[in-house]
Structures are given as structure tokens and as C-alpha cells.
Amino acid sequence: NAGVTQTPKFQVLKTGQSMTLQCAQDMNHNSMYWYRQDPGMGLRLIYYSASEGTTDKGEVPNGYNVSRLNKREFSLRLESAAPSQTSVYFCASSDSGLAGPYEQYFGPGTRLTVT
Amino acid sequence: AQSVTQLGSHVSVSEGALVLLRCNYSSSVPPYLFWYVQYPNQGLQLLLKYTSAATLVKGINGFEAEFKKSETSFHLTKPSAHMSDAAEYFCAVREEDNFNKFYFGSGTKLNVKP
């Protein structure tokens, strides 16, 4: 049981390049999330997916796109990277429903630097 | 939208001393609240969560938190700090009407001195 896995662990991009961050979970969770973590700002939600086939914007969606490929996988794409997107990106998953609260399970993170 | 405020971005205690990390939330109804811990270069792990079943919540590693509605607070405590408690701690609240939205505080880095 690997939990939530993310690839890659580290990435350096030049401004304007594109890339996709991959995330997979093996806990059969319905909900998946992408966050970015910046010093002194905690975690901010970029996008989330409440179920396979649905995605919704979070607090800071600009410059990102997501795909919920199936129940296990949720990818985050930067189409044209900017230095402001230098951050640590975390994927998370959770059970969902009003009967909660269901805690989130986090991946190990991807450290992205855009030069 | 909900919000969470963590007072003190850095807290330093001596080994064996009381740990107190502060969290205040904004909500018109009793919310769902969480504390997570992040060790260096790792993801976040759940310490404990408030579900309205009890105001004093016990978590892992000897941590506990008390929900105080009158103060809109959910402070995290541990009676005796260990060196292994050095990490960053985040308080989070779940959105009232969207159970998929969580708001995190800015985090408190705990340093434990020998």
C-alpha cells in the first residue's frame, strides 16, 4: 500500500516550458487535490476533483490545468511555466461525503523551480 | 470562505517543556478542524481532527487539541516536548458547504532545544 505517490520529486524548468506533474493513489479515494506550498503561506488549493470525471478550481488555479484520468490518477499541468510557479507541489486524496470529516493523505511533494 | 490563523510562525521550546501552538478559525458554525505535521522534505501527516464528538481531541505522538467555540480556537498542546517533535505544524479547516475545500494556516515551525 503505497498511499499517494508523486512524480517527479524535483524539476527545474525554464520560463515558458511546460510539464505535467503526476499523482496516483491506491486507497480507492473519491477526492483528489493539488496544493502548492510557499514559505509563510501554508498550503493553497490549486484544483480538486470530487470524483472521476470532475474537476473544480481552488484558490489559485491560474496558470494550471488538471486531468482526473481515472479514480487513481490526478495530474497537474503547467502549460507555460513562470518563475511565480516556483513552489513545492503536493497531491492529496481523501474519502468524501457529508458524513466526514475525512482527513487528507498527502504525497511526498514535487519541488519545482522555474528559472 | 473559511480562514485559519496560526499565531507565531516559529516557536522554540526546551526538551521536556510544554508545547502550545495556536490556531484560530473563522466560521459561523462549528467547523471541522485538523492539525497536520510536516517533517522536513516530507508531505503532511494527520495529527488529529475535531469532529464535534468531543471538545478535547487526542492525537498521535502525545498531542491533543481543545476546541473552544467561544474563542474560535483549536490550539495544539503536548505536555512534554521531545526532540523528534521538531517539525512544521499546520492547522486546517474544512469549508462549511463544500467538503472538498480545505483552508490551511500559514504554519508554525517548532524548534526543540536540548
What pLDDT is recorded for position A2? 80
Contact list in A for residue B41 (CB cut-off 8 A) is: 108-109
CB atoms within 10 A of CB B80: 12
Nearest chain B residue to A10, by CA: B41
CA angle B94, B95, B97 (to 5 degrees): 130
Contact list in A for residue B103 (CB cut-off 8 A) is: 45
Q: Which residue has the cell 522536513?
A: B40
CB atoms within 10 A of CB A8: 11
Which residue from B51, B94, B105 is facing A42, i.e. has the nearest CB?
B105
Query: What letters, b where the CB count within 10 A reaches 16 and e where it falls short, cover B48-69?
Result: bbbeeeeeebebeeebbbebee
Give the residue from A23, A39, A106, A54 showing the smallest Cα distance to B42.
A106
What pLDDT is recorded for position B1? 67
* CB atoms B104 and A44 under 8 Å: yes
Q: Nearest-CA distance from A11 to chain B in Å? A: 15
Cis bond upstream, residue A108 (ω within 30): no
Checking if the pLDDT of B2 tops 90, the result is no
Across all residues in chain B, what is the average pLDDT? 91
A47 touches chain B (CB under 8 A): no
What pLDDT is recorded for position A99? 67
Which cell goes with B52? 464535534
d(CA B84, CA B103): 26
> Residue A52 burial by CB count (10 A; 0-12/13-18/19+): exposed, middle or buried?
middle
- The tens-digit pLDDT sequence of chain A (115 residues) is 789 999 999 999 999 999 999 999 999 999 999 999 998 888 999 999 999 989 999 999 999 999 998 999 999 999 999 999 999 999 999 987 766 678 899 999 999 999 9
**B18 near B79, Cβ under 8 Å?**
yes
Average pLDDT on B75-100 reads 91
DSSP state of A16: T
Which residue from A43, A98, A101 is facing B51, i.e. has the nearest CB?
A101
- Pairing mode, strands B3-5 and B24-26: antiparallel
Which residue from A35, A42, A96 is facing B100, i.e. has the nearest CB?
A96
pLDDT, one tens digit per residue, over B24-51 is 998 766 678 999 999 988 899 999 998 8
Contact list in B for residue A44 (CB cut-off 8 A) is: 104
Which cell goes with A9? 520529486
Q: What are phi and psi of A16, to 5 degrees?
A: 95, -15
